[in-house]
Amino acid sequence: MSASLIGLDWGSTHLRAYLFGADGKAIESRALPHGIRQLPAGGFPAAFALAIRDWPVLPVLACGMVGSRNGWQEVPYLDTPTGVERLAQHLTRLTTPTGHALYLVPGLHDPHRPDVMRGEETQIVGVLAREPATTRLLLPGTHSKWVRLRDGVVTDFATVMTGELYGLLRQHSILGAALPEARDDDEAFRDGVAAARDSGPAGALSRLFSARALMLDGVLDPASVPDYLSGLLLGEELRMALAAGWTGAGDTIPMVGEGPLCDRYRRAADVFGLHLSRAPDGTTADGLWRIAGAASLASAPTFTAHSL
């Protein structure tokens, strides 16, 4: 299979490179630790050269924070509603020192809230490639995204900083710092989720301190505080998603994300009686391929002429 495209999933902390065959399957893929906050000496060009080393010179399509203000080149956000065609029409091109034509996928901007995403738009396109009828999507992560779609177009979305808040509270707050080594405690996790669910319209921020009070009461083992806190924050995200109409009783929302995190969300959803399913892996690569196709980046066989 001749190679026809290079794809880059280039975020804050990771850089994944895909060498696509003409059928859109990855012939080879690489993971480097050179997210845009962890660049090697030589910066973006050096990281790029490492990522594509020994690969043929092909068009390159990149998504993620590489197109942010602190990225290689800033690519303006596109307002919702936006689908794959509009993304493909607004790629930004730069020429690398290695002579590659590198195209950057724009992020999305929801003017209602306002809110932004960068990288997730490509994952969403990847989901749509397999499930064109998707109308709701959850991308759990440091900054979870709840997404609404219509006819394959993202209409609006909201970011919830659950993962980042958990990290801050775990590492730096009176609740989470100075705890003994954590242990997995599913019951504490579910108790936290339930506390958030039962916090009513006041919300779980008003219950955060219960993590400390329960520990002082001897009800919550200090080693289980992290799971309780995780449950409280994931529960708050679900409570908010319900209150804001991102999900409702009877819905099944597909999730795109890492396995253990998606599993955690599914356990939290259980406590609410909600249903979250898991979308297949590989959505970013699929999305890159699909956007490249819509932009006719990888369609011409000439791209493989000077390859391998």
Per rule CB under 8 A, is residue 308 in the interface with a copy of itself? no
Calpha distance 241→180 (Å, rounded):
32
Work out whether 228 is an interface residue with a copy of itself (CB under 8 A): no
Tokens of 154: 């993202």
Tell me the closest approach of the beta carbon of residue 70 to a copy of itself, in angstroms.
9
Mask: binding to a copy of itself, 164-183, rule CB under 8 A, as x and -? xx--xx-xxxxx--------
CB contact at 8 A, 146 and 157: yes
Residues 267-296 that bind a copy of itself (CB under 8 A): none
Binding mask 54-73 for a copy of itself (x = CB under 8 A): ---------------x----
240 binding a copy of itself? (CB under 8 A)? yes
Chain positions 128 to 157 lying near a copy of itself, rule: CB under 8 A, are: 143
Closer by beta carbon to a copy of itself, 13 or else 307: 13
Question: Applying CB under 8 A, does 53 fall inside the site for a copy of itself?
Answer: no
Residue owning tokens 């954590």: 182
Query: For residues 81 and 203, which CB has a smaller minimum distance to a copy of itself in the complex?
Result: 203
Tokens of 121: 């738009």
174 with 168: CB under 8 angstroms? no
Residue selected from 113, 130, 150, 183 as contacting a copy of itself according to rule CB under 8 A: 113
* Residue with Cβ nearer a copy of itself (212 or 275): 212
C-beta separation of 67 from 106 below 8 A: yes
Q: From 93-101, 110-118, 127-135, 186-194, give the range in contact with a copy of itself by CB under 8 A.
A: 110-118
Q: In angstroms, rounded to a whole number, what is the distance separating the alpha carbons of residues 108 and 120?
A: 9
Tell the smallest beta-carbon distance from residue 172 to a copy of itself (Å): 6
- Residue number, 229 or 294, with CB nearest to a copy of itself: 229
Quick one: which H or E segment has residue 265? helix 259-272
Asked if 147 and 279 count as a contact pair (C-beta separation under 8 A), the reply is no
- Binder of a copy of itself out of 31, 243, 300, 308 (CB under 8 A): 243
Of the candidate residues 99, 180, 201, 260, the single one contacting a copy of itself (CB under 8 A): 201
Q: Which is nearer to a copy of itself, 100 or 109 (CB)?
A: 109
Nearest residue to 140 via CA among 154, 155, 123, 125: 123
> What is the pairing mode between strands 144-150 and 153-160?
antiparallel
Confirm or reject binding of residue 244 to a copy of itself (CB under 8 A).
yes
Q: Which of 115, 120, 121, 156 binds a copy of itself (CB under 8 A)?
A: 115
Torsion sign over Cα 165, 168, 171, 172: negative
How far apart (Å, rounded) are the C-alpha atoms in residues 300 and 4? 8
Identify each DSSP E strand in 35-168 by its residue range: 60-63, 78-79, 82-83, 92-95, 101-104, 108-110, 115-117, 136-139, 144-150, 153-160
Which residue ranges make up the site for a copy of itself (CB under 8 A)? 69, 77, 109, 113-116, 143, 158-161, 164-165, 168-169, 171-175, 200-203, 205-210, 212-214, 216-217, 219, 236-237, 240, 243-244
